[in-house]
Chain A
């Protein structure tokens, strides 16, 4: 019994990712893929950067699949696709930068070329660019970043070193009176104000929690009781505490009533650094929670109660990132301390004040937002008209192969291979774009689809002629005894003249 694709597990996974709009028909897609991969592999072998090409090819494929999957369904697609997207994009950004820093520019260029080529080729069939696929992926990444921000803030509050904060002269002027564990009237006043501020921050939470009307009746009463009891307890604890401290101070110091037992106790409370640190943390957490609740209420009930599709995957990935950030915090700070650079030193200083986990989480947030910003390049290019919806894939492959040819030229590959790669780039783009235009005209399932190989054959024939011509031009120029600068000038002027003539001829 034969199974259709949609009957198989693989089919069920892949079918929703397939693209109808940028669909390049099979013959054109196979032709373009064979030429493109052949060109990038030949180029990488010529300059000894095979590893870079292989890694680029894998990363490009993963990137395309991840972008297509991230908006696929509620959990599975975004969870797998989102995780792969974050890891892949970070690698695509970081690895070439690292290769360049160690003097492997050609490998870095070939790696990026491989990414562009396979990402473009994958877009021939899957919904990886155009139709808002990248924008949806960016939105998912930004949402994960937004989820990470409050976690990072809370981490900073938890790991905040109050003693160091007080010792910092920049903060003493503003918060010293509240935070410095002093005795006497100044310390009592500071502690009382801190207690009252904490109470106000807790009242603010009570003011912005969801109204009880949003819950059904059995839970509504319990919710009402819970909120009311919490407010009463907080008022009793912090408001009453502030009042008790003031009254105790007045009784013991001013009126000298029972100063014997009260004064040591009051002194212990007022000069407790741990107590003030706890109050400060509670105050800050309350402020963060209040702001978050207010933002969520402003975002609307549909977002808060509607369980939007991105939320489960976003929460899971955020949890994983938090775990990774916290687990890698100390090794990260140790690594940063080993670097003798100003930015690394600054991060180590921040880690001393806010804790290593805060710095690690901050870098995770920065990384996630950088991934979003890097992905934004694609919609920006689309907005500029450089990556049209239907033909973005072929143009990305063209860009990748042109980058390959530049890397080959920089890496002293034979000139004929450079020319062949440039011609391959034009052929792949021509065949791919022709296929995509064909789909735009006659759809994905026409009655007949003739002429694809004829078009590819014409393009290949012209390409062979062009390479032959360029080799001839190159030999002619290199056989003449003139300096490199003159050669460059002559060729440059010649090329510009040919371009102008060609444009005029077309008009």
Chain B
């Protein structure tokens, strides 16, 4: 669509102003100078925006067409001028799905393309649960004077949709895992083969574990511990309650989606080490017979993986507008039933945006039941208005309370890559340990 810009009206106004000043002040130079803006108006009238609907080809490539909800998708847009004439002023905006947010780079650009030249731009999207379709690319060319504007839309070649679900029917299967014991060993000395440490002798210690060499040398009775070969199960707990379904803005993923994303990353990477892993989702009803919580107990088999993905998908699906809002709290009986099915020594990784007291309460319950807990919490607070600032402050207080309980916490800013946040958390933990 062609449009004649009104920007050069200003030049006509300037011309009148100078002419009037010249006449009033009786200065012929100003009256002659009044013709200068008119020269520019003529320049505007004589130049025209190029039509590019047929000469511009655009190709879109995406790193993943089926990312996990809350995951990132790299998009690359390649624009090529197939015409014989250069396009000096080309502006374009990729048709990013309205509900997805750009977390890095920009889908907008102003380009100057010679004939046959191609240019690529890249940006990164944060996926949300569901299927999202790219709109056509909006393209605008201008004449050299910017007085003539041509705007159109061009369909980009390449994938048109991004589908972010974890339904096993849609998602590619990860590694199935095997039945051999895993590599996540529990830090507990006892019987075993690998040396773990030396401690003071206790009367109940078996005689064959007494450190006789030391006794012969120093006369002190000590006992040798060997690393317990018991494998630690891992249970990833996702907060999918209604209170976690909050996002920084309408284009950003919710706390639930981000938690599911982290859970999926943990499940995938942990299963590569063949560690038994399970998932529990707070606030998910209807997945099994339990009330207000659904779970798959830690395991390593293919069936478990399929069920894990189904549960992750069910957790992510709680953010759909038509989904029933999850429970605000989880009944104590359901939690006790879960505890009954977990093996002692199971490590709990709790994923929650921590937007209410119940998140802290959940950690307390796991710890009081004897499980070690660590946390990763996506920060979905915006701090853009007083209400949001209050929420953010309450979250900070909750995190401080959890840290006082000794819970290791990774406070993840979703604009930063997850791997980088994990590295930073590890560095700060190491630094803190070094100081102590």
**CB within 8 Å of B: which residues of A?**
395, 398, 402, 405-406, 409-410, 415, 418-419, 422-423, 425-426, 429-430, 433-434, 437-438, 441-443, 445-452, 454-455, 458-459, 462-463, 465-467, 469-470, 473-474, 477, 484, 487-488, 491-492, 494-496, 498-499, 502-503, 505-506
B35 sits at the interface (CB 8 A)? yes
Interchain residue pairs with CB less than 8 A apart (5): A418-B29, A458-B145, A462-B43, A477-B32, A492-B23
Verify if B335 is at the interface (C-beta below 8 Å from A). no
Known contacts A415-B29, A447-B107, A448-B110; is-contact A454 B37 (Cβ 8 Å)? no
Which B residues from 110 to 150 make CB contacts under 8 A with A?
Answer: 110-112, 119, 121-123, 140, 144-147
Decide: A469 and B39 in contact? CB cutoff 8 A.
Answer: yes
The digit string for B28-44, where 1 denotes a CB below 8 A from any CB of A, is 11111111111111111
Q: A495-B31, A495-B34 are in contact. Are A462 and B110 (CB under 8 A)?
A: no
CB distance from A95 to the nearest CB of B (A): 22
The reply to whether B110 and A446 form a contact with Cβ atoms under 8 Å apart is yes
A199 and B179 CA atoms in complex are apart in Å by: 97
Known: A451-B112, A502-B42, A506-B45. A415 touches B146 (CB 8 A): no
B17 within 8 A of A: yes
Q: Which of B6-14, B244-252, B352-360, B367-375 contacts A (4 or more CB under 8 A)?
A: B6-14
Asked whether A426 lies within 8 Å of B12 as measured between CB atoms, the reply is no
Query: What 9 additional pairs, Cβ within 8 angstroms, besides A415-B29, A442-B110, A466-B40?
Result: A406-B25, A426-B37, A441-B91, A446-B109, A448-B110, A450-B109, A451-B90, A506-B41, A506-B45
Q: B121 is contacted by which of A418, A437, A448, A474 (Cβ under 8 Å)?
A: A448
Chain B positions within 8 Å of A426 at CB level: 11, 14, 36-37, 40
A495 is contacted by which of B15, B123, B145 (Cβ under 8 Å)?
B15
- Tell me whether B19 is interfacial, beta carbon within 8 Å: yes
- Given known A410-B25, A446-B108, A469-B39, contact A425–B32 (CB-CB < 8 A): no
A457 to chain B, nearest CB (A): 9
Total cross-chain contacts (CB, 8 A)? 179
Min CB–CB distance B372 → chain A (angstroms): 37
Give the B interface residue count (CB, 8 A).
58
Tell me whether A442 and B93 are in contact in the complex, defined as CB-CB below 8 angstroms, given that A409-B27, A503-B12 are known contacts.
yes
Q: Which residues of B pack against A, CB within 8 Å?
A: 4, 7-8, 10-12, 14-19, 21-23, 25-45, 88-91, 93, 105-112, 119, 121-123, 140, 144-147
Contact residues in B for A463 (Cβ distance below 8 Å): 36
Give B25's nearest chain A residue, CB to CB.
A410
When chains A and B are docked, how far (Å) is the Cα of A470 from the Cα of B18? 14
State the CA gap A469–B144 with chains docked (Å): 21
Report whether A443 and B33 are in contact in the complex, using a CB–CB cutoff of 8 Å.
no
Check A442–B33 contact: CB distance below 8 A.
no
Q: Known: A395-B10, A447-B105, A450-B111. Is A465-B28 also a contact (CB below 8 A)?
A: no
Which residue on A lies nearest to B31, using beta carbons? Answer: A491
Q: Which residues of the other chain, B, contact A474 by a CB distance below 8 angstroms?
A: 28-29, 32
Query: Is B30 within 8 A of A418, CB to CB?
Result: yes
Known A454-B89, A488-B23: A499·B32 in contact at CB below 8 Å = no
Do A410 and B27 touch (CB < 8 A)? Answer: yes
Q: Contact check, A484 vs B28: say whether CB atoms are below 8 A apart.
A: yes
Please, which residue of chain B has its CB at the minimum distance from the CB of A502?
B41
Q: Which 6 A-B pairs have CB atoms at the shortest separation, nearest pair first?
A: A447-B121, A466-B39, A442-B108, A450-B112, A502-B41, A447-B109
Asked, given contacts A422-B18, A425-B14, whether A455 binds B30 with beta carbons under 8 Å apart, the answer is no
Q: Determine the chain B residues whose CB is within 8 A of the CB of A466 once the complex forms.
A: 35-36, 39-40
Question: Given A402-B18, A437-B146, A506-B44, is A418 in contact with B109 using a C-beta cutoff of 8 Å?
Answer: no
Choose among A419, A438, A473, A492 the residue that contacts B19 (Cβ–Cβ < 8 A): A492
